[in-house]
Structure 1
Amino acid sequence: MKQIAQRVGVSVSTVSLVLNGRDGGRVKPRIAQRVREAADEMGYQPNALARSLRTSRTNIVGFISVEVATTPYAGGMIQGAQDALSALGYVLLTVNGDDAQAIDDEVGALRRYGVDGFLYSAMSNRVVDVPKSLRRFPLVLVDATDAEGRLASIEPDETRIGYDATTRLIEAGCRRIAYIGCTEPMVAQDGRLEGYRQALIDHGIDVDERLRRDVLNNGPALRAVEELFDSERPDGFFCFNDARAWYVYEAAARRGLRIGDDISVVGVDNHRVFAETLEPQLTTIELPHYEMGYWAANRLVADIEGRAINEAAWPRTTAVMPLLDTPSPAKVHCTLIEKASVHAAR
């Protein structure tokens, strides 16, 4: 810091304010910029140990993953959190647990590292019972909501997913729109079904329960979708996820129907395997895993440090992230990715 101060021609205290992010209203922006440029040129790195002794913080955050780390979506969520924390001067430690005992063990291990707070995420958007061992620490839930509704959390706007997907099919001229849902009880299933129904109502189309099939996977799912084709002859399909859209593609192919021409299909996930395999490519709504991780990390640091975060410096992402002071659960309006499985809007 002394060397930087000498190069810029300012006091060491001025350099300290700038490099610790406390220059707002105290140091002229032009001088603060010169300090940062000099620090970059000279390769300045803060001493993490010295900082932790001074602030009583380690600048380490723990990410508790409940069955998430083994899914295709973990990378985006963890990457978002890591990018945000790196920019804020924090390090992320990630652990995975599949049951209550494993989670308690991992929490104990992270506590021994002196983590300042936790991110906690479950596989797929769900209501969770947060372990008592976590509640004494700063905590933000990612793609989850606590049963009591008291903790900061972020999740996709599931109802808007269903509404936007169905509206896109209506804009393409579809009137007999089927919903291929999920048989498992899930927050996402309830929200997407609600959005599907509301979009139909708002556009003057009757909700016909005969056009709905909730399926799980494999042969029974394909047979249920084939039976729907033959009995109800839908012209559009909103699918709970991209995996279920495959059954629609298969059933259509067996009947000589062309996706994107004879029928239109919208999925959810923008799952890489299906995105690169299905032909024509599937129009889908991308879940905001990166955005949720990034937002949650910023919210956690704001809680740990008791300060405002400069949200104007956030990167541009596929979905727009909500403000940090949004009441929980904060919901992300997910983005529809146009490809080739839906008619052009009429």
Structure 2
Amino acid sequence: MQRKATAQDVAKLAGVSRSAVSLVLNGHGDGNIASESQVRIRQAAKDLNYKPNAVALSLRNQQTRIIGIVSDRVISGPVDGNIIAGADAVARARGFVTLGLDTEQDEQRDASAVETLLDRHVDALMYVTVGLRELRVPAGMEKAPAILANCFDSRGPGHLGNVIPDEVWGGAEALRHVLAAGHRRLGFLTGPLDHPAVQHRLEGYRQAMAEAGLPFPDGAVLPVGWDIADGFAAASTALAAPAGERPTALLCANDRCAVGAVLAARGLGLQVPGDVSIVGYDDEERVADTMVPTLSTMALPLREIGAAAMTRILASLPRAARKATAGQQPDRTILEGEELIRGRFVDRASLGPVPAS
């Protein structure tokens, strides 16, 4: 059996000291080792297929290289797993692993889930939610570097930082595409008005209408739920109006609501998008892209949210480790504040030009 390469082998091939190899491969080369030497060291490690011993590295750095993730229903639910996938991809690329626990939306399990992860000596914590919402942060999350993904601290700014979708921009961008297609008679199937995502999207809709020099049609706001049946019921009512009065475009709370709206249109003998255009939100996999017609929709940047949150967590660890060594509380400076991530509009078959009179 071929002997595994050692750090000394890498040092010999690169023409540097073993300590230089350790500094570079442990992420501490900048400011300590010349850039040319760093390039040689990484190339030598690649040529020799050398990988540092994870256990030994953890002992030296006083890190487990494990990031704990608590979710309300992301792991066990059918959607939003892309947030964790995005976070995990960034972690793996940096030599970390993630350990996730799902509370299945039982707030009573939040504290125990956090403590379970802390008992495993995770280096940092992330809390991920299905859908944008306010979170009552478990107290244990103050014991380690921590960040929130797709949610925000109920205590307000100045506490745990977070990464969330830019829902104001998302609402405005979706409506811009609808207005660009010529639509002026609109219906907004918004979801519950007390939901934070709905409030932000409504703000975005108002912005887009103002940009276009148009008054916002408050009477066109139809608060509904998030499911197919909700979209079907609301759209059935909105589209039952005479041809010259009914909306020519419906902007829906999510893709499932939009599916219900398409079914309602068909039930009334209307063509999508020939008679009415329908736009969803989320770009839910195996829904928006497989629906007939395929749904135009505003894609939520789920992987990007997870990746951005993990990037901030990992950037905080060296400073946090120095604080811990000195017996001080974790340094959260780099984790403070709210980061907004923009999605993208996916133009598919359900959005067309305004129908001829």
TM-score normalised according to structure 1 size: 0.89
| 1:35-54 Cα deviation digits (max 9, x unpaired) | 11211222212122222222
State whether structure 2 residue 136 is matched by structure 1 residue 129: yes
Write the letter of the residue equivalent to 2:22: S
- Match runs of 1:228-307 below 5 Å: 228-231=238-241, 232-306=245-319
Q: CA deviation at 1:274?
A: 1.8
Which residue of structure 1 lines up, in the alignment, with residue 14 of structure 2? 8
Task: Note if contact 2:240-2:268 (Cα within 8 Å) is conserved in structure 1.
Answer: no
Which residue of structure 2 lines up, in the alignment, with residue 181 of structure 1? 190
| 1:78-106 Cα deviation digits (max 9, x unpaired) | 11111111122211100111323322222
The CA RMSD over aligned residues, in Å, is: 2.2
Which residue of structure 1 lines up, in the alignment, with residue 109 of structure 2? 102
Which residue of structure 2 lines up, in the alignment, with residue 79 of structure 1? 85
Write the letter of the residue equivalent to 2:281: V
Q: CA deviation at 1:220?
A: 5.7
Which residue of structure 1 lines up, in the alignment, with residue 37 of structure 2? 31
| 1:276-304 Cα deviation digits (max 9, x unpaired) | 43222111111111111111111111122
Quote the Cα distance in structure 2 between the aligned partners of 1:131 and 1:253. Answer: 47
Task: Note if contact 1:213-1:225 (Cα within 8 Å) is conserved in structure 2.
Answer: no
Unpaired segments ≥5 residues, structure 2: 1-6, 321-332
Secondary structure class of the residue paired with 1:230: coil
Which residue of structure 2 lines up, in the alignment, with residue 141 of structure 1? 148
Which residue of structure 1 lines up, in the alignment, with residue 220 of structure 2? 211
Quote the Cα distance in structure 2 between the aligned partners of 1:14 and 1:221. Answer: 62
Secondary structure class of the residue paired with 1:24: coil
Q: Which moved more, 1:34-43 or 1:130-139?
A: 34-43
Which residue of structure 2 lines up, in the alignment, with residue 61 of structure 1? 67
Q: Which moved more, 1:23-32 or 1:152-161?
A: 23-32
Secondary structure class of the residue paired with 2:202: helix
Q: Which moved more, 1:257-266 or 1:14-23?
A: 257-266
| Percent identical residues | 32
> Which of 171, 175, 179 is 1:166 aligned to?
175
Task: Note if contact 2:163-2:339 (Cα within 8 Å) is conserved in structure 1.
Answer: yes
Secondary structure class of the residue paired with 1:272: coil
Task: Note if contact 1:84-1:298 (Cα within 8 Å) is conserved in structure 2.
Answer: yes
Task: Note if contact 2:190-2:252 (Cα within 8 Å) is conserved in structure 1.
Answer: yes
Task: Note if contact 1:169-1:177 (Cα within 8 Å) is conserved in structure 2.
Answer: no
Q: CA deviation at 1:326?
A: 9.2
Quote the Cα distance in structure 2 between the aligned partners of 1:279 and 1:92. Answer: 38
Task: Note if contact 1:286-1:335 (Cα within 8 Å) is conserved in structure 2.
Answer: yes
Q: Which moved more, 1:151-160 or 1:71-80?
A: 71-80
Q: CA deviation at 1:221?
A: 4.5
Secondary structure class of the residue paired with 2:207: helix
Divergent runs of 4+, >6 A: 324-327
Q: CA deviation at 1:344?
A: 5.7
Quote the Cα distance in structure 2 between the aligned partners of 1:82 and 1:260. Answer: 39
Q: CA deviation at 1:131?
A: 0.7
Q: Which moved more, 1:17-26 or 1:237-246?
A: 17-26
Q: CA deviation at 1:184?
A: 6.2
Write the letter of the residue equivalent to 1:329: E
Quote the Cα distance in structure 2 between the aligned partners of 1:219 and 1:262. Answer: 21
Write the letter of the residue equivalent to 1:111: L
Which residue of structure 1 lines up, in the alignment, with residue 329 of structure 2? none
Task: Note if contact 1:154-1:332 (Cα within 8 Å) is conserved in structure 2.
Answer: yes
Quote the Cα distance in structure 1 between the aligned partners of 2:123 and 2:34. Answer: 31
> Which of 192, 201, 204 is 1:195 aligned to?
204
Secondary structure class of the residue paired with 1:118: strand
TM-score normalised according to structure 2 size: 0.86
Unpaired segments ≥5 residues, structure 1: 308-323
Structure 1 residues 218 and 9: CA distance shift in structure 2, 3 A: closer
Task: Note if contact 1:100-1:131 (Cα within 8 Å) is conserved in structure 2.
Answer: no
Write the letter of the residue equivalent to 1:77: I
Which residue of structure 2 lines up, in the alignment, with residue 318 of structure 1? none
Structure 1 residues 325 and 169: CA distance shift in structure 2, 3 A: farther
Quote the Cα distance in structure 1 between the aligned partners of 2:349 and 2:228. Answer: 25
Task: Note if contact 2:79-2:130 (Cα within 8 Å) is conserved in structure 1.
Answer: no
Structure 1 residues 344 and 174: CA distance shift in structure 2, 3 A: closer
